[in-house]
């Protein structure tokens, strides 16, 4: 059975129940009591769905930073906490900062020692888009809280075609006869599309014959799933916990970044509160754009925020869209109009809920 996805019959609602995160180390860290539960996402036959997975596994470690370099953080607990590799093929782990300047930032662990973690500070983007942990005005500091949780791959989310890990989507002997999964990144040029090769028995990137089962799916990454006609609707049942910090994503100057709201509840445009790094304008051609997937059209609808903090559709600027709801699990694309550097590369949105602290 997949680590994160259950394939069930019927409809169920998102059920949230308190599940305290784990604390390790010589001094227990106060952590939030985090709602966890199950939610369903549907992938209709013959259509393309753009989605993002708004639940993550419960943390395996919660602690505080004692030391930091440009790419590493370390802890000073009585017992060395990281006794095994957190960067094995097919078993990725991520760090999310819960407090401090970089609260909400999530990075892949690329290696570790028993007390330190090396992080991918490119945030799943090109190497020249690196933002170090010691960036002026956006630096990680001793005392910042963070957690570690397990990540996902193509095989853990969409199956591997085995009895213990069945395939969710339709495989085929070529990309043209199979369902396709596209992992969206910073720009369309860096997107990668995969299909399950039923002859080879594993996932492949189109144009390659290499086994891609272990391809990492980043938390809250936008995923486009193109279903072939004639297939039945596939249902994904996600297990996990809700986001515990403000949603923070890295933007690219004058370009497009794909992702999701991070939240397992619907969020209105007016609830986003995107902060000072979000460019507002009374003209949709000179504003940052929030592009929301429209399943009926099979395309994105583009929204912008005017200088009075009212939202509008680029295609219909006269109508107020403040109460438009972005459904939980929908994929998004954000168009960054202006130049962004350092801390400005990151866009944070307000949490639509609060969690209690033990």
Tell me the pLDDT tens digit for each residue of 291-310.
999 988 989 999 999 999 99
Q: Is the pLDDT of residue 25 over 50?
A: no
Contact criterion met (CB below 8 Å) for 333 and 261: no
Domain ranges of the chain: 5-41+54-152, 243-357
Q: Which residue has the higher pLDDT, 58 or 2?
A: 58
pLDDT tens figures, 121-142:
998 887 777 899 999 989 999 9
Residue 128, Cβ neighbours under 10 Å: how many? 6
User: What pTM did the predictor assign?
Assistant: 0.88
Distance in angstroms (rounded) separating the CA atoms of residues 204 and 211: 6
Residue 149 has pLDDT above 70, yes or no: yes
Kindly indicate the confidence band of residue 1, based on its pLDDT and cuts at 50, 70 and 90: very low
What DSSP state is assigned to residue 286? G
Which residue carries 């923070």 as its tokens? 248
The residue ranking higher by pLDDT, 65 or 252, is 65
CB atoms within 10 A of CB 262: 27
Whether the Cβ atoms of residue 306 and residue 282 lie closer than 8 Å to each other? yes
Task: Tell me what percent of the chain is helix, strand and coil, each rounded to the nearest 5.
Answer: 5, 35, 55
C-alpha 219/C-alpha 201 separation (Å) is 26
Asked if residue 126 lies in contact with residue 120, where contact means CB atoms within 8 angstroms, the answer is: no
Looking only at the bridges linking them, the beta strands covering 289-294 and 61-64 are unpaired
Residues 54, 241: contact at Cβ < 8 Å?
A: no
The H-or-E segment that residue 294 falls in is: strand 289-294
Does the pLDDT value for residue 144 go beyond 90? Answer: yes
Q: Which residues of 19-38 are buried (b: 16+ CB within 10 A; e: fewer)?
A: eebebbbeeebebbebbbbb
204-236, pLDDT tens digit by residue?
999 999 999 999 999 999 999 999 987 789 998
Q: How many CA atoms lie within 13 A of 148 on its CB side?
A: 26
What backbone phi and psi angles, to 5 degrees, belong to 273?
45, 70
Eight-class DSSP state of 10: S
pLDDT band at 186 (very low <50, low <70, confident <90, very high): low
Residue 357 CA: distances (Å) to CA of 41, 89, 102, 230, 354: 30, 35, 20, 49, 10
* Residues with Cβ within 8 Å of residue 27, at least 6 apart in sequence: 64
3-state secondary structure 145-211: EEEEEECEEHHHHHCCCCCCCCCCCCCECCHHHCCEEEECCCCHHHCEEEEEECCCCEEEECCCCCC
pLDDT of residue 304: 97
CB atoms within 10 A of CB 227: 21
């Amino acid at each position: 059975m997949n680590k994160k996805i259950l394939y069930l019959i019927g409809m169920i609602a998102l059920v949230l129940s308190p599940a305290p995160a784990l604390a390790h180390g010589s001094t227990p860290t106060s952590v939030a009591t985090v709602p966890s539960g199950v939610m369903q996402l549907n992938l209709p036959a013959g259509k393309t769905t753009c989605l993002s997975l708004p639940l993550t596994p419960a943390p395996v470690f919660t602690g505080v930073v004692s030391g930091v370099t440009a790419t590493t953080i370390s802890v000073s607990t009585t017992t060395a906490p990281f006794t095994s590799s957190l960067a094995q093929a097919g078993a990725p782990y991520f760090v999310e900062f819960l407090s401090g300047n970089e609260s909400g930032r999530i990075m892949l662990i690329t290696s570790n020692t028993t007390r330190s973690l090396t992080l991918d500070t490119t945030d799943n983007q090109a190497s020249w888009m690196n933002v170090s942990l010691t960036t002026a005005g956006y630096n990680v500091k001793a005392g910042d809280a963070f957690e570690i949780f397990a990540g996902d791959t193509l095989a853990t989310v969409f199956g591997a075609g085995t009895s213990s890990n069945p395939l969710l989507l339709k495989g085929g002997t070529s990309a043209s006869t199979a369902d396709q999964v596209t992992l969206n990144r910073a720009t369309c040029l860096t997107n990668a599309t995969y299909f399950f090769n039923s002859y080879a028995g594993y996932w492949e990137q189109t144009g390659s014959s290499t086994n891609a089962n272990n391809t990492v799916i980043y938390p809250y990454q936008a995923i486009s799933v193109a279903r072939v006609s004639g297939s039945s609707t596939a249902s994904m049942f996600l297990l996990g916990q809700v986001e515990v910090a403000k949603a923070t994503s890295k933007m690219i100057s004058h370009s497009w970044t794909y992702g999701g709201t991070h939240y397992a509840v619907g969020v209105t445009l007016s609830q986003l509160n995107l902060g000072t790094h979000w460019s507002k304008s009374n003209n949709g051609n000179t504003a940052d754009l929030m592009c929301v997937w429209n399943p009926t059209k099979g395309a994105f609808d583009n929204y912008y925020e005017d200088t009075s903090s009212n939202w509008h559709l680029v295609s219909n600027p006269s109508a107020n869209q403040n109460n438009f709801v972005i459904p939980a699990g929908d994929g998004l694309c954000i168009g960054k109009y202006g130049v962004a550097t350092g801390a400005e590369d990151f866009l944070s949105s307000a949490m639509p809920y609060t969690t209690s602290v033990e």
